[in-house]
Chains A and B, each alone.
Chain A
Amino acid sequence: MKPGPFDYEAPASLTEAVRLLADQEREAKVLAGGQSLIPMLNMRLARPGLLVDITRVPELSGLYVDEAGHLHVGAAVRQAAAAAAPEVRAGWPLLAGAIAHIGHPQIRNRGTVCGSLVHHDPAAELPAASLALEARFTIVGPGGNRTVTAEDFFVSTFQTAVGPDEILTEVVFPPAPGDGWSFAEHVQRRGDFAAVGVAVALARRQNAMHRVRVVFCGAGPLPVRVPEAESALEGRPLDAEALEGATALAGAALDPPKDVHASAEWRREGAQTLLRQALTEAWERTA
């Protein structure tokens, strides 16, 4: 469990970082918090020839709310810092709530928000939360900047829209749909990746649900949004009938994987149990 040889650079500017990443002869790779990359290096599952450490790039360390009320989280922002930020807790509590489920404090102190998104373990919390919050992703590469939506960002397990010579410089969250939110997951041990989990965001207007977002993690190669369940809930109060209807729709829509920890059937049932719990909690939060 020792990595193969690699070079290391810690550029002081984004331009320099992008220039270094262009060196694909050496299979350059971005290093931020290292909570997934370093174990993969140690197990020799990843063999980059150059690590570009972006944690010392000043442009990437920002966390702020812009004039339009959008939250920007730079690529070097640690998960613990994001979860503790007053603006995040006030405006995007689902993001803070999702981060609370990631690993252990030591992991959140090192790991970055953007790093988890680019790594894209489909059982991870942040991809699901970012899809529920309709985040947009700013990607910088040799060809300049581009922005992609959460729908387009996650491609498949461990794959995103970020190319090998590109950097996800920030993730931008528009104002949350409303006050209702919940993040719930099934783990066997505290701090594990979720066997299955769900992010719920919603608003309450005139005692009815609006802008409902239901996204599961651990339920497929991507975070799985369930529009059928969302539209069934739209415009009605959360009563037993609405809850059961949405749960049944989610159960029908999901095609979860099986692995050593759980069968597909257990994941589907677990997703449904979590959805009941999360919708109830999100709805109660708006009261």
Chain B
Amino acid sequence: MTRQHSSEPTGYVGQSVPRVEDERLLRGHGRYVDDIALPGTLEAAVLRSPHAHARITRLETAAARDLQGVHAVYTASDVAALKPLVNEAELRVPPGLAEKLEPLVRTLPMPLLAREKVVYAGQPVALVVADSRYLAEDALELVEIGYEPLPVVVDPERALEPGAPLVEESWQDNLALELETGVGAPDTAFREAAVVIEEEFAVHRHVPSPIETRGVLAAPGAYDGRLTVWANTQTPHRVRDHIAMSLAMPADDVHVVAVDVGGGFGQKGILYVEELLVPFAARALGRPVLWREDRNENLTAASHAREQTHRIALAADAEGRLLGLRDRILVNFGASTMTGLVVPYNSVIHLLGPYRVPHVDIAVRAALTHTTFTSPYRGAGRPEAVFAMERALDRLARRLGLEPSELRRRNLITPEEMPYRTGLLDRSGEKQEYDSGDFPELLRRAVDHIDLRGVRKRQSEAARSGDQRTGVGFAVYLEATGLGPFESARLTVRPNGQLRLAIGAPSQGQGHRTSMAQIAADAVGVPMESVDVLGGDTDAVPHGVGTIASRALVTAGNATHRAGLALRTRILDAAAERLGVPAEELSIDGTRVRHPGGAETALAALVADGAELSETAYFRPGGFTYASGAHAAVVDVDTRTGHVSIEKYVVVHDAGRIVNPVIAEGQITGGVAQGIAGALYEEMIYGPDGQPTTTTYMDYLLPTSSEIPDLHLDEIVTPSALNDLGVKGLGEGGAIAPQAVLTNAVEDALTPLGVVVRRGPLTPDRVRGRIREAQAVHSEQAAPVPS
């Protein structure tokens, strides 16, 4: 639904301006990495390990090199001079956390190409560069390689047992991370509680699956020795700095472009070895080199996510007021320590969510296993935490005989308690503080929209033996958004009097060209048609972080706002000087500056003859903003087949001030779709031998629009006081709750049968299996005592 927007040059923020990027993208004029055609481009293919754990006994590349059309075959010894990959920004432990929690955070640098050993199926072993991808893949088959298979561990619990096969030989175990934190006196709380429940819940492994797979095109400059790299990354400046460091080049000699990117979801938010290998090859060969990941590689060898187990306990008084929470979290890192604390600690600090929990004891461990490495994926530890907490709340409600939404209501933090401190430390190592929100109102609306009373009435009227069972589920969550340390915006008056905004945070589909132009146009006081937005080009703005962690609107948005206000002042001052009138009497009208007395000048004239008008602003968030939401769903479960169908799905969200409602709705819808996908369909499955078994979209079930229901969306707005725009960000929000909501709803439907659901996805086979087990237990209990 597009809302009206006025033709006034101010007041764009808050309006559903149609996305200006869409016409170009929908007409097929997007320029993704694979669309960029440079003369003389060579294509690369990666030889990947077929084994989960093996010693390389032989590696002979002569036959591959001899194939006509092959330009190079690189193995570990060719890239020995390059530093192994470390995602340094993500692995840094903030001083506050390091000092107070003393976490164990081990770093395992990733070799660019496997040397001596491979530790997961899909690990790069060699890079072939040829005239075409076809020839490169032909050459992969000619690399003669011998493997001696070694013992494999894929289960993180087993990986931490003594004697488990090691992923890193120089470590004495597979423990990659360990920390413990808490609040109050949890032991006492649990001892004195009226009710204690304890459960184990698991979140399965996902693959983020952006529609555009990863890709890198690197081209050495003919004139200046610079290197231009088109990479579809979420963090172009980090990729630039990493390439520069690895290839020993000055950072400003590397130009990274990530302008049109087809989805990222976190999978493109980290650094990969291919982003170093391809530039290396381009420099070595003096030719442009392109590597485009195929879908099989994306599913098996780009980062995975989400796999966590929670042994969670809740203590409550007889009325259901929470007294304590204890959780033992185990994370499967896969074969490397890609982003260290990021995901596990995100789980820790989102576990309490919007609930008041006075006594807390949380411990988290992460294990290395012989599986593909993991990294943040839309939600980044939050869906996992919300799954554990919201499932535990439902179990507690059943124990107490309380309506699950009523139990939640009794424990939600109220607006009067804001800002609210949990007693934990946030990701920056500061005291975690929720800035704003109205969680009871979110829940009240969700209960209302889902028609809880109506669902309960239908359930009680339905025949208890019917094949179709209806259930309802809820989840309330919050999300720390606006991660620092900073983001940049540079706003410049162009020679034609229009403006160019360059920001450090690129778009992978979020619509920055529209939303950031709305912010800039309002701040400067020009029509948004005058503002052209460029994100993801490291030459356009010197520093940047990227579009990850629901941060772009908060950080780049506020940087844009500041740059806009500053540029407005600069423009008016320059015009005042030129026209000889006071600046405060001037107004900007389109591409002209006017004085009521009739004097006027074109913006273009202000930047002619050696004058420049440009402002660069940085926004360094002072604390995290907290977006929040309540989701509710009604499902029907066919007890004969285990098939789950979603009858209704409600989202009530709060992301503070909304810049563009239609873009926000798109973000939420996409996030919920991905959440539903993980709840019902998607799972990356490994065999005990470390072989991935769901390696194509025939087996890794990515849903289509046919599987995703219409959503019922509502919002409340509690603006953040932590930034001038009052925005919070909502990139990940939609994806956080669906797995908890749908699992709660399915269990609610099957409660009369005694079914408990402890992990997903809720495939027909899994749901039917739980029903069968519950029926077996019941019939056992009903069976006569043997004489």
Contacts and interface: CB of A to CB of B under 8 A. Distances in A.
B275 to A, nearest CB: 21
Contact of A190 (B685, B704, B769): B704
Nearest to B640: A273
B171 interface: no
A269 B685 contact: no
B768 interface: yes
B229 to A, nearest CB: 23
B274 to A, nearest CB: 16
A270 B133 CA distance: 44
A260 B707 contact: no
A4 B135 CA distance: 8
B569 interface: no
A266 B134 CA distance: 42
Interface residues of A, number: 24
Contacts of B706: 189-191
B81 interface: no
A262 B703 contact: no
A46 interface: no
Contact of B765 (A3, A44, A263): A263
A244 interface: no
Contacts of A192: 698, 701
Given A2-B137, A3-B134, A269 B640 contact: yes
B45 to A, nearest CB: 8
A191 B707 CA distance: 11
A186 B641 contact: yes
Interface in B175-213: none
A188 interface: yes
A266 B685 CA distance: 19
A272 to B, nearest CB: 9
B681 A261 contact: no
B764 A188 contact: yes
A44 B134 CA distance: 11
Interface in A151-173: none
Contacts of B693: 260
A193 B685 CA distance: 19
B710 interface: no
B412 to A, nearest CB: 35
B769 A188 contact: no
Interface in B581-615: none
B294 interface: yes
Interface residues of B, number: 30
B707 A2 contact: no
Contact of B764 (A2, A5, A262): A262
A193 B641 contact: no
B41 interface: no
B768 A43 contact: no
Interface in B688-736: 693-694, 696, 698-699, 701, 703-704, 706-707
Nearest to B138: A4
Contacts of A270: 641, 764
A43 B295 CA distance: 11
A269 B641 contact: yes
A287 interface: no
Nearest to A39: B696
A191 B294 CA distance: 22
Interface string A262-280: 1101100110010000000
Contacts of A265: 772
A68 interface: no
Given A260-B685, A263-B765, A189 B137 contact: no
B765 A1 contact: no
Contacts of B772: 265
A260 B633 CA distance: 27
B698 A189 contact: no
B763 interface: yes
Contact of B703 (A2, A5, A189): A189
Contacts of A1: 294-296
A263 B765 CA distance: 7
B642 interface: yes
Interface in A186-231: 186, 188-193, 195
Nearest to B695: A43
Interface string B669-687: 0000000000001000100
A151 to B, nearest CB: 29
B763 A261 contact: yes
A191 B694 CA distance: 18
Interface in B717-771: 763-765, 768-769
Nearest to B703: A189
Nearest to A47: B141
Contacts of A189: 681, 701, 703-704, 706-707
Interface in A97-121: none
A51 to B, nearest CB: 15
Given A2-B133, A2-B134, A266-B642, A190 B765 contact: no
Contacts of B694: 260
Given A2-B134, A5-B138, A273-B640, A261 B294 contact: no
A273 B133 contact: no
Contacts of B681: 188-189
A121 B389 CA distance: 43
Contacts of A195: 764
Nearest to A274: B641
Nearest to B140: A44
A77 to B, nearest CB: 25
Nearest to A188: B701
B533 to A, nearest CB: 35
A128 B635 CA distance: 33
Contacts of A261: 699, 701, 763, 765
Contact of B707 (A190, A269, A273): A190
A195 B699 CA distance: 11
A269 B768 contact: yes
Interface in A1-42: 1-5
B469 to A, nearest CB: 15
B467 to A, nearest CB: 9
A193 B701 CA distance: 12
Nearest to B638: A273
Contacts of B643: 186
A191 B702 CA distance: 12
Nearest to B707: A189
A191 B704 CA distance: 10
A193 B696 CA distance: 13
Contacts of A44: 137, 141
Contacts of B765: 261-263, 266
B769 A263 contact: yes
A212 B295 CA distance: 44
Contacts of A43: 296, 696
Contacts of A273: 640-641
A6 to B, nearest CB: 11
A270 B764 CA distance: 10
Contacts of B768: 266, 269
Given A4-B141, A261-B699, 14 more contacts: A1-B296, A5-B138, A43-B296, A186-B641, A189-B701, A195-B764, A260-B693, A262-B763, A265-B772, A266-B642, A266-B764, A266-B769, A269-B640, A269-B768
21 contacts: A1-B295, A2-B133, A2-B134, A4-B138, A43-B296, A44-B137, A189-B681, A189-B701, A189-B704, A190-B707, A192-B698, A193-B698, A260-B685, A260-B694, A262-B763, A265-B772, A266-B642, A266-B769, A269-B641, A269-B768, A273-B641
| A-B interface, 4 closest residue pairs, ranked by CB to CB distance from nearest | A1-B294, A266-B765, A190-B706, A262-B765
